Structures are given as structure tokens and as C-alpha cells.
Structure 1
Amino acid sequence: MADAPHQRFGFDTVFDGAGDVAYAPPRPKRLFTIEEVEQVRAMAFGEGEAQALASMAALQAQALSSVAASVVAAFPKLAGVAHDHRVASAELALACGKAIADAALARFPEAPIRAAMENLAREIEAAPRLMVAAAPDLAENLQAVLEEAAQAIGYGGAIQVRSMPGMAPAAFTLDFGDGAAAFDPAAAAVRVAAALDAALAAEGLHAEPLIPGSES
């Protein structure tokens, strides 16, 4: 192991004519009072705390920036998930509605044609005759129902009911000379489903937010 190099003599000490030291540079203080130690400790603690807080603030800013970038990147996926949820909800509502409608038509198959006569009261009031075609099961008891509906709307013309095999249980056609009306539950369900699909396709990923007050 090599010896440590010798420190050169510094000419910073000044002697007088008698050989006494006239000036000497101050030496580092090696002994401190308790008050001085506490002061130095407090300063060091403050500097360390400031550095730690600055480091934490930088880390927080970096984390927030990363979260913001992740949220922005996730927006398209969230919009897709929301759209899929809307589609599934609409399809479920449509299926429930169809089931309820089928049950109602099975229980009251004459309700659609009764409603049609009420809505067409002005159109059929001058018609001398109404020609109605319906499925055999419905046509069997439809004459009395139509006469009751005609009396309710003030229609005094003749009503003729024909049985048409192959028609759906609640389906019917109503011909009043100057116009006609028809109802087919299956065709109506297809039209409703097509309208719903078209609305969802037009809406796409730009629909209103699922949560009121939020923005996509």
C-alpha cells in the first residue's frame, strides 16, 4: 500500500519579528454546544422534509399524468361497452314486450280490431259495409264484438266477417271501401325490431351518457 502524499506547508500563518504567530487562519470548529447541534439538526430535517415533499409532488404529478393518459385511451373502449349494454338492454326490453304482447293477444285476441274500429271511426262512418277477415278461432265470435264496437262509435252500416285459415290468431284485415286496415302480430314485431336496430345503428357510439349528468 502506497504512503499517503505529504501535505505541502501552507504560508497562511504569519509570524512577527519575535517569532510569535501574528495571524493564523481560523480552524474548523470541532466542538458544538447543544443549542448549535439542535439548530443544525433542525435545518437538516427541514431540508430533508422539503426534498421529500418535492419528490412526492413529482411522483403524484407523474401518476396523475399516467392515469389521465389511461383514461383517455380507455374512452373508446368504454363507449363500445356502453353501446353493447344499450343494445343488450334494448333487445331484452323488446323480448319482454313481445312476450307480454303475445300473452295479451292470447287473452284478448279481439282487442286489436276493436281498437282499429275506434281509431278509424271517422273514416268508416260513411262506409255502407265493413268487410272483416280473421283467423277461424277469432272470426267465430267476432261478429258480436264488432257490432258492439260499431254501436259504441255510432257506425250503422253492415259488418261481414269471413274466416281465413292460415291467419295468425289476432291478425285481421278490415276493408271499408275507400280504405283498408290490417294487423299481423308477427309482421308488427318484425317492424318494431327493424326500427330498433336502425335507431341503435344510427346512434352508434355517440349516444347520451348512461349516467345522467355525465359526459362520454
Structure 2
Amino acid sequence: MTSPTPRKFDFDTVFDDAGAVAQASARPKRIYPLEEVEAIRAQAYAEGERATMARVEAQQAQALAHLAQACQAALPRLAEVAHDHRVGSAELALACGQAIADAALDAFPRAPLQAALDSLAREIESVPRLVVTVSPALAEGLEPLLAQAAQSIGFAGQIQVRTDPGAAPAAFGLDFGDGAARFDPAAAAQRVAEALHAALASEGLHAEPLIPGGDA
């Protein structure tokens, strides 16, 4: 293997003892064609555009990540707000229903008793005696209504009316030997409220969305 022939190193610029330039070699000048200049400019522009777009995309990704984190943190609270809204709406509807029911019972206190007699017609038509327990206010003038109801359902037995001073105005009890039926407006309202609250508690934060088509 042969070694390359050593070449003397030449300085482009030589200075004298006073520090002045004693000799300066001429540097070659290059002239760039217009096409090469345009190509270099286009390449530099493209590289700058790619770098800018990369920074923009990185910033967008970071912003979306922060937004996703904020939404994730807010979802549990939104579910709680939605659940509280459901509970409040249900309680408001329950209160309105109770007010309407109370007004209806005040206007037609015998309607529940009449409905019960019609519903139990087959159970009581053949029994020998029917005991009806009502409040003193409801007992006034009740016998003609009971007689008419008995005739309409074909009841030929004995009807006995008893009063309960502690009963609500529209409350009643029916005893017909092998069976019985009771109605107390306050107890019925309490059962409805308990069933509603139990359903809301069971549903919890996993209910259907408030807005159709949305997410819970």
C-alpha cells in the first residue's frame, strides 16, 4: 500500500511582522444559476413550512390532550348535576301529583271506595257480609251509595258500616270474609314516594341522558 504524497500546506492569507497582510490568495467566486437559486429557495421554504406545521400540530395535540383531561375531570360532576336535576324534577312532579290527588279526594272523597267496589265485584258478590270501615265524615249518607253499588254488582249479602275517627276523610277498609282491602291516601302517597326514591337511588349516576341522543 502506497502512502499519499504529502502536499505543502498553503495559507490563504500571510501576515508580515507588523501584522499587515503581506499576501492574500484570491478566493474563487461562484455564480449560482437562477434555477438553482429558485430550487434552494423552494427547498428552504418547504423545510420551514414543514417545521412550522409540525409545531402547530404538536401544539394542537397538546391543547386537545388538555381539553380531554378537563372534560374527563368534569364528567363526574356533570353526572352528579344531572342526577340532582332528575331527583329535583321527580320530587317536584311528586309534589304536584300529591296536590292534584288531594284536591281530587277533597272534591270526590267517595270515588276511591266506589272504584274499589267495582274492582272487587267478583270477590264480594257471593260473600254473606261486607264490612265497610270509613271516617265519620265519609259515613254520612254512605248507605244509599253502598246499596246502589251492591245492586250493580249483584251483591245480596249484608253491608255493615263502621266508623274510624282516626281515619282520613277518603280512607276506607273493606272486609269480606276471606279477603280485605284497605286505602289510606297518606300511606299510598308514602309508598309512591319510597318507590320513586328507591328507583332514583338504584339508577344513581348511570341514568339515560337528559338530552335524547346524548351521553350520560
Query: TM-score normalized by structure 1?
Result: 0.79
In structure 2, list runs of 5 or more residues that go unmatched: 1-9, 14-25
Q: Which amino acid aligns with 1:147?
A: A
Secondary structure of residue in 1 paired with 2:168: coil
Query: Which residue number in structure 2 is paired with residue 109 of structure 1?
Result: 109
CA distance in 1, matches of 2:41, 2:12: 33
Is 1:72 the equivalent of 2:51? Answer: no
Alignment correspondent of 1:49: 49
* 2:28 aligned residue: 26
Match of 2:175 in 1: 175
Residue matched to 2:187? 187
Aligned mates of 2:152, 2:45 — CA distance in 1? 95
1:100 counterpart = 2:91: no
Q: Which stretch shows the higher mean deviation, 127-136 or 149-158? A: 149-158
Is 1:59 the counterpart of 2:59 in the alignment? yes
CA distance in 1, matches of 2:140, 2:97: 28
Counterpart position of 1:160: 160
* Secondary structure in structure 2 of the residue aligned to 1:133: strand
The residue that corresponds to 1:121 in the other structure is: 121
Contact 1:139–1:163 (CA under 8 A) maintained in structure 2? yes
Q: Distance in 1 between matches of 2:84 and 2:97?
A: 20
* Structure 1 position 43, deviation (Å): 4.7
Percent identity, aligned pairs only, is: 63
Q: Give unmatched runs, 5+ long, in structure 1.
A: 1-7, 12-23
Superposed CA RMSD in Å reads 2.6
Q: Distance in 1 between matches of 2:147 and 2:53?
A: 89
Deviation per residue, 1:148-168 (Å, 9 max, x gap)? 222332222222222332311
Q: Which residue of 1 aligns with 2:148?
A: 148
Q: How many residues align?
A: 196
1:9 paired residue among 8, 11, 18: 11
Contact 1:110 1:145 in 2 (8 A): no
What is the CA deviation profile of residues 176-204 of structure 1, one whole-angstrom value per residue up to 9, with x for unaligned ones?
A: 12221111101111111111122222222
